[in-house]
Structure 1
Amino acid sequence: MTLPKPPTLDQHLCFLIYSTSLKMTQTYKPLLTALNLTYPQYLVMVVLWEQDGLGLKDVAQRLQQDSGSVTPVVKRLEAEGYLIRSRDPRDERNRVLTLTPAGQALRAAALKVSQDFAAQCSIENEEVASLMRNLGKLNQNLGP
């Protein structure tokens, strides 16, 4: 009796997503260096460009991370002068994150990063939309 063969590494969806994620982050790295941002810092800024004045917990939730992981990233962004952390008057334990003029101005430069990244991916907008739908569905199916 022969045992069934387990899937190879290349047959694992999780590995394809993992290796693609690593490549995407490496592609972003030189693009973000010009903005003096790391990829995690960039993601925090993207959230704040969408909605300024969010609480740290809200930003962490939006990034699907815990606030303890996001706090050091936010502190570095504050040290760079891109945002200000202040106490939430409704909850003293939470910090509200507000973009500085420098943080707001960075948004225009970040648009070029998005365009350059898209160009390096060499895939059509329809393909991107399909990938986003399918990965979003997978993400949702895997839980909160």
Structure 2
Amino acid sequence: MTNEKPAKEGASPLLDEQLCFALYAAHRAVTAAYRPLLDEFGLTYPQYLVLLVLWERGETTVKELAAALRLDYGTVSPLLKRLEATGLVRRERSARDERSVLVAPTERGLELRERAACVPGALLAATQLGEPEVARLREELWRLADRAEAAAHRAR
């Protein structure tokens, strides 16, 4: 006997009809579309996301950065090490709380912000998506993320 719940009526076992697979394929495709845009700056997509947060917020704790990116500390830490090695960010212990590590863009990291400002528009042009469509997709995806997160919490 298993704990599996019966599938909802009308639910398809076909791969191409799975919402999760459509999201996975879209994620991979969008990341691949970013690659040539970010290669010019020597960045990976996850590193770009870290920099976006830092450009928006300035100095922040690693914990707050991880929360903003919806990642765990173990995933963010190696990203920060690589960005620090390239001279784009700096990390240091907080003087107020030695348990906390602060991270901020360096001068070089801030200069990259200006150069990378073209990336979002270039992605829209490459994918031929207009602002209204992007806004609608973003809203729907955030709604899905919130619902899936709530479902995951209920399942614990």
What range describes the TM-score normalised by the shorter chain of this pair?
over 0.9
CA distance in 1, matches of 2:21, 2:74: 27
**TM-score normalised by length of structure 2:** 0.86
1:89 paired residue number: 95
Question: In the alignment, which residue of structure 2 is the partner of 1:132?
Answer: 138
Distance in 2 (alpha carbons) for counterparts of 1:18 and 1:43: 18
Match of residue 71 from structure 1: 77
Structure 1 length-normalised TM: 0.93
Amino acid at match of 2:78: P
| Post-superposition offset of 1:13 | 0.8
The answer for the alignment partner of 2:49 in structure 1 is: 43
Post-superposition CA distance 1:65-93 (Å, at most 9, x none): 11111001001111111111010123212
Determine which of 9, 23, 27 is the counterpart of 2:33. 27
- Partners in 2 of 1:80 and 1:29 — Cα distance? 18
- How much identity, in percent, do the aligned residues show? 40
Alignment-mate amino acid for residue 131 of structure 1: L
Residues 46-105 of structure 1: per-residue CA shift (max 9 Å, x gap): 000110100011101111011111001001111111111010123212210111111001
The gaps in structure 2 that reach 5 residues or longer are: 1-9, 151-156
Of 8, 19, 35, which aligns to 2:14? 8
C-alpha distance in structure 2 between counterparts of 1:5 and 1:58, whole Å: 38
CA contact (8 A) 2:31 2:45 kept: yes
Q: Following the alignment from structure 1 to structure 2, what is the Cα–Cα distance between the partners of residues 16 and 142? A: 15
Q: Is there any run of 5+ residues in structure 1 with no aligned partner, and where?
A: none
Cα distance in 2 for partners of 1:50, 1:56 equals 15
Query: C-alpha separation between the residues in 2 aligned to 1:142 and 1:5?
Result: 17
- The CA RMSD measured in Å over matched residues stands at 1.6
The amino acid of 1:91's aligned partner reads D
- Give 2:44's aligned amino acid: T
Whether the 8 Å CA contact 2:92–2:101 is kept in 1: the answer is: yes
Instruction: State the shift of 1:12 in Å.
Output: 0.7
CA distance in 2 between partners of 1:17 and 1:142 (Å): 13
